[in-house]
Structure 1
Amino acid sequence: MATPLTATALLSALRSEGLTVVEHSGWRTHNRNHKGAWGPLNGVMIHHTVSSGTDGSVELCYNGHAALPGPLCHGVIDKTGTVHLVGNGRANHAGGGDPTVLRRVIAEDYGDRPPAPRKHDGGAGSVDGNAHFYGFECVNLGDGEDPWPTAQLDAIERVAAAICRAHGWSARSVIGHLEWSDWKVDPRGFTMPSLRNRIATRLSSPASGGSASTPAGGTSAPRYQPFPGTSFFTGRTSSPVITAMGRRLVAERCSSYTVGPGPRWTDADRRSYAAWQRKLGFRGSEADGVPGRTSWNALKVPHTG
């Protein structure tokens, strides 16, 4: 059991784990504390939004809807791996769940997964999960077909590890909504045991820090290539940054190259980058193949020196 992190402590924990975080207006005091307890905290719960697009998903989770007021979670993890903070305190995300699951999460003594839940919101004997869990909604349609980009899965792992690290919890303090309530199926598209394995591995090493590393001699240097701006990507550009970008696109299986990639920006680069944007969930004019800051940061192009 743990005292909830302050807004400042939560933000610091997330950034220390190397996450890109967006603070939405008023999130530090946006909560449902007037409706019930917030704490003691016992774990982190992962959800999917059943929605697409970052802006609409964040707005939904911040404001909620007529039947369920917001915030609907503490943070939204979008397809690029960016974490959008929308609440701090009690949030309408977990609902009622199985007290046996809660006891096993507190004890951190289960094996591959906690016992199958037998309770749900409004059912006799259910326990209020909104009082006991941090909640993170991940942008995904939840149909089993909508992809989970590598950047998004990495961010989910880092978010959970950051909070576990801050409280001294193990990966067994992280559960999915489907492991809490017998009415729920989220998250769908990856397994919670596999996520907990990744979290456990991450927790076995110190926090990975932000987007900078410190080489011998103590001089800080960027770990990833900063976004060079949209105007950088024209047929006149020839740079090792373009080559490094192309190699990352090949690694992400978004390649339209027949030769290369090379240092000069070409139509093959544009087609490959458009495939990366679509992989992140962008559509229409947002997947035109011209890099933007969000998709560029998610690609994690290595610094070229």
Structure 2
Amino acid sequence: MPDPNSSTQDGPKAARKTDEPATATPATTPAPADTSDVGVYEPYPGAEFFHGGRHSPINAALGRRLEQEGHGDGRLLGPDWTNAHRDAVARFQQTLRPKGGGDTSGIPDETAWDRLKVPRVSPRTPDA
């Protein structure tokens, strides 16, 4: 007579075989992108936007952010793009890229723009 406490394959302590597949850990779904800032900050207008003679409230908003971050030098950073804007942006870029490790031209690049978080001043378009 077989021992009921035996751990043979046919005994009561044997592992049960089922036709069900092993339970796998469900695949993680990536978290949705944080869209809470959409429409709050000015979208990057592109490097070609920043040139002498450009008059825009975006330049003034950029100037205010640069001054808040401590990169102004007392010159006016108003709505007209000037060398004062370029110099202030260059100082900001140097804090992002110490030791000359990248663009410090004074023309805002997308990385610098995103880090500055320039408040939105342009009208929102339906797709923005």
What TM-score comes out, normalization by structure 2 length? 0.67
Q: Within 5 A, what are the aligned runs for 1:102-181?
A: none
Deviations 1:154-198 (A, max 9, x none): xxxxxxxxxxxxxxxxxxxxxxxxxxxxxxxxxxxxxxxxxxxxx
Partners of 1:253 and 1:4 lie apart in 2 by: 48
SS class of match (2:103) = helix
Partners of 1:280 and 1:223 lie apart in 2 by: 22
Equivalent residues of 1:256, 1:269 under 8 A apart: no
Partner of 1:261: 77
Deviations 1:13-38 (A, max 9, x none): xx33xxxxxxxxxxxxxxxxxxxxxx
Q: Give unpaired runs (5+ residues) of structure 1.
A: 17-208, 213-221
Equivalent residues of 1:257, 1:272 under 8 A apart: no
Letter in 1 for 2:43: P
CA RMSD of aligned residues (A): 2.2
Q: Which of residues 17, 37, 51 in structure 2 aligns to 1:211?
A: 37
Answer yes or no: is 1:272 the counterpart of 2:98: no
Letter in 1 for 2:107: V
Partner of 1:223: 40
Runs of 4+ in 1 over 6 A off after TM superposition: none
Equivalent residues of 1:244, 1:302 under 8 A apart: yes
Letter in 1 for 2:84: A
Partners of 2:73 and 2:26 lie apart in 1 by: 48
- Larger relative strand fraction: 1
Q: CA deviation at 1:284?
A: 5.9
Partner of 1:297: 114
SS class of match (1:287) = coil
Q: CA deviation at 1:211?
A: 2.3
Deviations 1:220-276 (A, max 9, x none): xx1111111101100020100000000000000111332x22101111100100111
Partners of 1:241 and 1:267 lie apart in 2 by: 16
Equivalent residues of 1:257, 1:269 under 8 A apart: no
What TM-score comes out, normalization by structure 1 length? 0.30
Aligned residues: 97
Structure ID, larger Rg: 2
Partner of 1:236: 53
Deviations 1:44-98 (A, max 9, x none): xxxxxxxxxxxxxxxxxxxxxxxxxxxxxxxxxxxxxxxxxxxxxxxxxxxxxxx
Letter in 2 for 1:270: R
Q: CA deviation at 1:4?
A: 9.6
